[in-house]
Amino acid sequence: MNGRLLITCPDRHGIVAAVAGFLAGSGANIITSDQHSTDPEGGEFFMRMEFTLEQGDLSALGRAFGQEVGDRLDMRWRLTDGGRPKRMAILVSKEDHCLVDLLWRHRRGELDADIALVASNHPDHRADVEGFGIPYHHVPYPNEPELLELLNDVDLVVLARYMRILSGGFLTTLDTPVINIHHSFLPAFAGANPYQRAFERGVKIIGATAHYVTEELDAGPIIEQDVARVSHREHAETMVRLGRDIERTVLARAVKWHLEDRVLVHGNRTVVF
């Protein structure tokens, strides 16, 4: 079986040796190891280790790790099964470019996930989604109780241009990571109509931002961003067309990295291995 261990803790000497020694002593073979420190002297330490385990089970390994290493080194850690695809749900409004891109990448095997469902506040995309063999649910906004019932057993929710605000109560009850794609290079032009506002401001670069959703609008920890250059010749409509390509690729990268347990959240920032 394949395991992934993600760790955040105060930096100190011997962390890598302690983790590697524990895994080796437990019969695990380390495949990859990545680490980062904000400051070797008193900073914060981040680690992602991927390993194989020939015998035993990950639950028992996790309990032993917490007792022997995690508690002693004041770690916040999680251990995931790399062989179990995460269950993912996608929420979308009228714009379908990010939705269709994710469905296509999933069918091509680029996203290690089970897409449990697609839900939308519009009925428009049913034929396209069901053509991929995925259930489609039309949930008029703001029916949050129905959405919560649909999402009660997923590991990740992706807002693929779901142009509605999810309440703080909804996010708390859901208690599941939510990734959003915002069509601007945050923190610039948060909120509605960013391309129009970018055009009015005369920007020379437009972008897109994938971030985790928090109660504060478009202010959650950023996972990935990208940009394209524009000139005075562009109109708001051409910026929208250019931006769609950026949105697709940025969201796909962020979702892929999350599914592969490469993202660690630290305050309002992320470390992405």
What is the tens place of the pLDDT at every residue in 101-126?
999 999 999 999 999 999 999 999 99
Q: What is the Cα 76 distance to its own chain's centre? A: 19
Say how many CA atoms lie within 13 Å of 131 toward its Cβ.
8
Higher pLDDT, 189 or 130: 130
Q: What is the pLDDT of residue 33?
A: 98
pLDDT at position 42, please?
87
Say which CATH topology domain 86-272 has. Answer: Rossmann fold (3.40.50)
**pLDDT tens sequence across 170-200:** 999 999 999 999 999 998 899 989 999 999 9
Helix pair 97-107, 236-259: axis angle to 10 deg? 40
The structure tokens 């929710």 sit at 157
Report, as residue numbers or ranges, the catalytic residues: 218
100: exposed, middle or buried (C-beta count within 10 Å: 0-12, 13-18, 19+)?
Answer: middle
Mean local confidence (pLDDT), 96-101: 98
Alpha-carbon distances, residue 139 vs 105, 121, 177, 264 (angstroms)? 25, 5, 20, 32
Give the pTM.
0.94
d(CA 245, CA 256): 17
**pLDDT tens-digit map of 32-91:** 999 999 998 889 999 999 999 988 899 999 999 999 999 999 999 999 999 999 999 999
Structure tokens at 241: 């067309």
List the domain boundaries for the chain. Answer: 2-81, 86-272
What tens digit of pLDDT does each residue of 216-272 get?
Answer: 999 999 999 999 999 999 889 999 999 999 999 999 999 999 999 999 999 999 999
- Secondary structure of the chain in the HEC alphabet? CEEEEEEEEECCCCHHHHHHHHHHHCCEEEEEEEEEECCCCCCEEEEEEEEEECCCCHHHHHHHHHHHHHCCCCCEEEEEECCCCEEEEEEECCCCHHHHHHHHHHHCCCCCEEEEEEEECCCCCHHHHHHCCCCEEECCCCCHHHHHHHCCCCCEEEECCCCCCCCHHHHHHHCCCEEEEECCCCCCCCCCCHHHHHHHHCCCEEEEEEEECCCCCCCCCEEEEEEEECCCCCCHHHHHHHHHHHHHHHHHHHHHHHHCCCEEEECCEEEEC
What is the CATH number assigned to the segment(s) 2-81? 3.30.70.260
For position 80, what pLDDT does the model report? 97
Helix 194-201 and helix 236-259, axial crossing angle in degrees, nearest 10: 130
**Pairing assessment for the beta strands 2-10 and 44-53 based on DSSP bridges:** antiparallel
Q: Which residues touch 208 (CB under 8 Å, ≥6 apart)?
A: 181, 182, 183, 184, 185, 225, 226, 243, 246, 247, 250, 251
Convert the pLDDT of each residue in 199-208 to its tens digit.
999 999 999 9
Residues 6+ apart with CB under 8 A from 130: 136
